[in-house]
A and B are shown apart, each in its own frame.
Chain A
Amino acid sequence: MSFIIVFMWSFVLWLVLTAGTKGMLWSPEELAAGVIFSSIVAYSTKNIVGEKASRFLNPSKWLGFVVYSVGPLFWGMVKANLDVAYRVITGKIKPGIVRVPVDLENEAQYTILSNSITLTPGTLTIEACPDEKALYVHWINVTEPEPQSSEVIAGSFEKWARRLGK
């Protein structure tokens, strides 16, 4: 199962990277080389990619990722970037590392949430602790030293991470 998924994604990436080299579409030689290289990649990673890899085949999840990254994530980055720009110019900072309790189940959800938090400026995930269900976040302007939920830091990201990482 994981072989097919890795093969498919590597082949898609190959098609994207080779589009337009000779005419608009792909030549047969390119397609053949793509099949060979994708097979090598898929074979060599078949023990690394876990059993839950079938979730990468779910089209509603692809759509979810696209909507999430152009919607809430991009808007969060715009707001946070303007905030950090203000702090860079005025130099008004109040940094600190806070513990943020989160309610997530698996590692994919932790990865999505902590990457989203790190990608929005002003917050930087230092450590994710799935055993105590908490993230340690360096925050450039601490308004609440002991937040009770990730709402103050990440807004709606936690809800999205829970849905996308299932």
Chain B
Amino acid sequence: MIEYMIYTFLAINMIFNLLGSISLHRFPDVYTRLHGATKCTTFGTIFAVLAVVVHALYQLRITNDPKYLQMALHSVVALIALLLTNPTGAHAIAKAAHLSGVKPVKAVIDAYERKLEEGAQ
């Protein structure tokens, strides 16, 4: 039973990481690629960590070996660090790209460009 739960989590993780990689290939510019590459993979990684935690807690209950407790806690700390740094990094890359003049491809509106132009005048 527990095995199937772990397999489900790993399958979800794999699907979203795969979609993130495909989006790098399909999307036209740096901003849309950031969406796929950073967000889909974060969501997938949440499920990878969930799978590790479930497995570790299950093993902890069977074997009573403290190394599984360590495994679960360390994965959770890694997940929290990822959830805090990932959006910050994506924001920094997007802002740097915009400030160095990369225009969003096929954009219907670019309000930030307008603001920068108004600021320059």
Contact = CB atoms under 8 A, between A and B. Distances in A.
Nearest to B39: A121
Given A16-B73, A19-B70, A127-B95, A97 B22 contact: no
Tell me if B's interface is mostly helix, strand, loop or mixed: helix
Interface in B59-102: 66-70, 73-74, 77, 83-84, 86-88, 90-91, 94-95, 98
Interface residues of B, number: 47
Nearest to A144: B109
A81 B40 contact: yes
A146 B109 CA distance: 9
A121 B40 CA distance: 7
Interface of B: 16, 19, 22-23, 26-29, 31-32, 34-36, 39-40, 42-43, 46, 66-70, 73-74, 77, 83-84, 86-88, 90-91, 94-95, 98, 104-113, 115
26 contacts: A19-B73, A20-B66, A20-B67, A23-B66, A24-B69, A78-B43, A84-B19, A84-B36, A85-B19, A91-B26, A95-B31, A95-B106, A95-B107, A96-B104, A96-B109, A97-B98, A97-B109, A118-B87, A119-B42, A119-B86, A120-B39, A124-B35, A124-B90, A136-B111, A138-B31, A138-B35
